[in-house]
Amino acid sequence: MIWPAIDLMDGRCVRLHKGDFDQRSSYDVDPVARAKAFADAGARHLHVVDLDGARQSAPCQSVQIGQIARQSGLKVQAGGGIRNSADIEILLAGGVDRVIIGSLAVTKPDSVCNWIAEFGAEHIVLALDVRIENHLPVPALRGWQDRSATNLWDVLDGYDGVARHLLVTDIDRDGVLGGANTGLYADIKARYAGYTLLASGGIGSLDDITAVKAVGANGVIVGKALYENRFSVQEALSCWPDG
């Protein structure tokens, strides 16, 4: 599945370079209009991140995200700064289909497991943003500003059989358009066949999409490549039709 991405800062569409808030590209387009354009092009899914929320550790743009979901008609997964069940409930009530849990999936797994039980595994996405250190994927926290003391495998072991949806981003490839970390995604699928895996970071060409699909990922997030007109939504969907 193809998931076009909208990253929000100050109500605008932006893209970061390697997760650095000081290296961002802003796009002068209304996020709702952008989402509708994705839908008109044939997309059925949308990935939305409240970057202000991720940075401030509290949701900042839930109202706007709800507008995007309702007015676009897309199946939206969204997050950024989620800290409690009320934050999740607001997004789901606003029209979001799945809520993305980032840093707390690493730091407060007991709470996240309780949310999965409360809202259902279908409505929660574990989003682990990692950097590769000494050949190990290590999660970054709080809008990619801090480093976890544990590795990705230890985190995922704790959710195996509990969580269903997993999104993994190689931060050092994010916004670079240089290709995805297919080795990482192949490793995840080999270790944890039960997760539905979305790949993110580095998609710069249609060949990159094909490569991610070939290693067993269940979907891919596409952001900057669409904004920079490397290819169109229709072309992406031709590589991986949304089901």
**Residues tagged active-site:** 7, 129
What value, to the nearest 5°, has the Cα angle with vertex 92 and ends 44 and 155?
85
> CA separation (Å) from 243 to 30, 49, 75, 98, 234?
27, 23, 12, 17, 14
DSSP reduced 3-state for 19 = coil
Tokens 């390697």 identify what position?
18
Residues 6+ apart with CB under 8 A from 114: 85
Q: Which two tokens stand for residue 21?
A: 């808030």
DSSP reduced 3-state for 191 = helix
DSSP element (H, E) containing 50 = strand 45-50
> CA separation (Å) from 217 to 10, 16, 23, 31, 211?
32, 23, 28, 27, 9
Kindly write down the DSSP assignment for every residue of 89-133, as one continuous string. Answer: HHHHHTT-SEEEE-HHHHH-HHHHHHHHHHH-GGGEEEEEEEEEE
Strands 20-27 and 45-50: unpaired
